[in-house]
A and B are shown apart, each in its own frame.
Chain A
Amino acid sequence: QSALTQPASVSGTPGQSITISCSGTSSDVGDYNYVSWYQQYPGKAPKLMIYDVSNRPSGVSDRFSGSKSGNTASLTISGLQAEDEAVYFCSSYTSISTYVFGPGTKVTVL
């Protein structure tokens, strides 16, 4: 199972909105609404930010939102803040009952 595709880095200024894309195939992202997003700070465990494409767990800021079109999912961070600087990974369930992750996108707040 090939990894999902994400941009290596995305940057923005405080208050700006940024979007991270996550491209898969018809065997993963395109076939299921089981896309999730994780935030990871250096040396820390990942944290769930979005599940089932667009749902936020309790406690996650509503500045984070998710969507999907075809084989590509997206994570949007609105009102960018310094604390949002981290690496973001997307994940999808697959047609062979496995999971696949993207390589991660480093978000830099300028």
Chain B
Amino acid sequence: QERLVESGGGLVKPGESLRLSCEASGFAFSDHYMNWIRQAPGRGLEWISFINDGGSSSFYADSVKGRFTVSRDNTKKSLYLQLSSLRREDTAVYYCARESEGNWFDLWGQGVPVTVSS
């Protein structure tokens, strides 16, 4: 069964850092582009980051550029998101999502909550 499982979320103070992980199973992880998408409480979805299959190319939303870093380890079938200089507005559920052969997200994790509060 194809699955994505996020971990690493929690409560942090403004300015602190956090590293999220997303472990894949049931499919060829190294063949797929991956993305991070977040959802603030009671709000819509916000795409925040993309990384290609080999990890050599990445893109970010303006809201997180320079503060968040996406990476992957294909040997561990894992995707990561390093969150730095966190702000209250970064409070959200963070999803990792597999990008299909085209430009859509066909497999999502269950999400991991991040709360930024003093």
Contacts and interface: CB of A to CB of B under 8 A. Distances in A.
Interface stretch (B7-15, B16-24, B72-80, B107-115): B107-115
A1 B47 CA distance: 11
Contacts of A102: 44
Contacts of A51: 100, 102, 104, 106
> Could you say which interface size class chain B belongs to?
20 to 34
Contacts of A98: 47, 50, 59, 61
Contact of B44 (A34, A36, A47, A103): A103
B35 interface: yes
B103 interface: yes
Contact of B106 (A34, A48, A103, A104): A48
B2 interface: no
Contacts of A86: none
A36 B61 CA distance: 19
A93 B108 contact: no
Contact of B111 (A32, A45, A48): A45
Contacts of B102: 34, 51-52
Nearest to B45: A101
Interface residues of A, number: 24
Interface string A86-97: 000101010001
B59 A97 contact: yes
21 contacts: A1-B61, A32-B103, A34-B104, A38-B45, A45-B95, A45-B110, A46-B95, A46-B105, A46-B108, A47-B108, A48-B105, A52-B103, A52-B104, A57-B106, A89-B44, A91-B45, A91-B104, A98-B61, A99-B35, A101-B44, A103-B44
Interface of A: 1, 3, 32, 34, 36, 38, 45-48, 51-52, 57, 89, 91, 93, 97-104
